A and B are shown apart, each in its own frame.
Chain A
Amino acid sequence: MVGKIPSKYILKEMNILIVEDESRIAKRIERMTRAIFGDALQSIKHINTLQESVKFIENNELDLVLLDLNLKGSNGFDLLTTAVSESFHTIIISAYKDQAITAFEYGVLDFVPKPFNQERLEQAFHRINTKEKIASNTIKFLAVKKRHKVQLIPIEDVIYIKGAGAYTELFLKDGKKELHGKPLEKLEQLLSFSFERIHKSYLVKMSKVKEIIVESGSKYMAELKNGERIPIGRTKYKDIKAKWF
């Protein structure tokens, strides 16, 4: 598997940030990333402090952040919550395996334990564009950017998610609506264990769906337990019917 990712995986050119305070390891990550993405890599940047990374994330368009959780003695989880609220995917590369569970709960794409090799890194990168369900995902929160801080919304409060261009809208149990930084496709990857993409604009928690209703003009609708109705895409109907009902 070592080598360049076949072009079918690469949908666009990648802008990658490496946040790692040990220069030898950062160089290793950079070298391997270059090897894996090849021409698909548009830019790669290495930063070794937390403050600089936060600034960089705010001011640059990114597709992927490779993050070490222990930076110069500071707690990387602050940076992590900021990162996961953004539009890009985050992959953790860390020596602390015991932080993996928490990292997944926050919604990272993968956790690569140190020491790592190119194969493991490649495996993590595969998840970026794969449509396969990632069974190990145990995301518990969705980080939502507020004015001065990042708020963690528990997944169990989310009923369905609606795509809104580059952003998504989270519809919550209590009727509130939150704006999330990731596009629907990326959230689908993270939430695939309990949410289903029933429409090109909708991701719905299946446990909240009461029944499927066929409206006039063979429009398929999913009726939620709270009475709301959400359209089901024509192409998706059969799969959903087969899988869930």
Chain B
Amino acid sequence: MEETKPQLVKITFDGIEVEVEPGTTIMQAARKIAEADESQAALVPPAMCFYKPLTASGGKCRACLVRVAQGSAKDPRPMPKLVPSCITQVQEGMVVENTTNQAVLDTRKSIVEFLLINHPLDCPICDQAGECHLQDFAFEHGSVKTRYEEDRRTFDKIDIGPYVQLHMTRCILCYRCVYTADQITNKRVHGVMNRGDASEISTYIEKAIDNDFSGNVIDVCPVGALTDKTFRFKNRVWFTKPEDAHRDCDKCCGKTTVWYRGDEIIRVTARKNTWGEVNDFICNTCRFEKKKTSDWVLEGPTKVKRSSVISANKYRANLVKTPDFAIKLADSSYKKIDDTRPFVTDEETIRHQSIENNDKANHRSLLAKNN
């Protein structure tokens, strides 16, 4: 018997046509474009609270707001407000403007500003730095200066369980950890207390989170609010080397990424996809207790995006072991700086230049490796 396929829905996203299944969200459609053509990755709206594996997540951070210029083929009126692309479903003939619309970009800039006004900006001492979604988001869409002059809100650090520490000051209240605790573990003991900018993630009267999958809240946290106590202050992520690995585990799938420093595993996390999402959650035994290479079957280096800072220092071992390499690298890098662009003070241009420079730096490090 032939299976009836659902009629595909065609939408236009930033001028690119894409066909998706009905019921897909705008965000998923944009990700489909980027998955088909990697050069279009910049089109995808940023997601700070949306997390595909967690149902009901999304719609809270407003970072992914887009403009719908045409609601559908049947009803071509534009939507009156910007809509969150992570939860808005596509309609046949919908026309969406993301990076092509200045209002959307302005709003996104203000969302960065809102998220950062009460953020401590302690990236230099934060364990999440280098793999922080807020850092990426602010780098890409934020402004160089802050207009906020008042005191920032602060909270005390709370130990939730033997493995996880909550540093509420850094939290952006995406609710991902609440959904994780709700959906993949049985006894939910943590949630959101208070309201407004005083609201905080907290456990029931500072009760410890004690179950086999509690460690996953660390992986879903987009910022450094929930950190791994076995890894805290051990290392910067860009000095570590991620390797895919697996082991036989009776509780979870056992598929992980282990993070090496030298020959030592200093951290174990679940595997994240291109969008920073974990599809297979792992148990606490794999995450916190198996830190010997003999515990794992290695599958090879994890694919890290070239733009990620994690890839920038992959060759640190080489730099230390063979000083010649370091000199050659420096030589090749610094001579090739070719910046004939005029001197500008305009904030936007500087930001674009700094992004370009970052790309060039990555490119240079690759060149150096090939030489």
**A is bound by B:** no
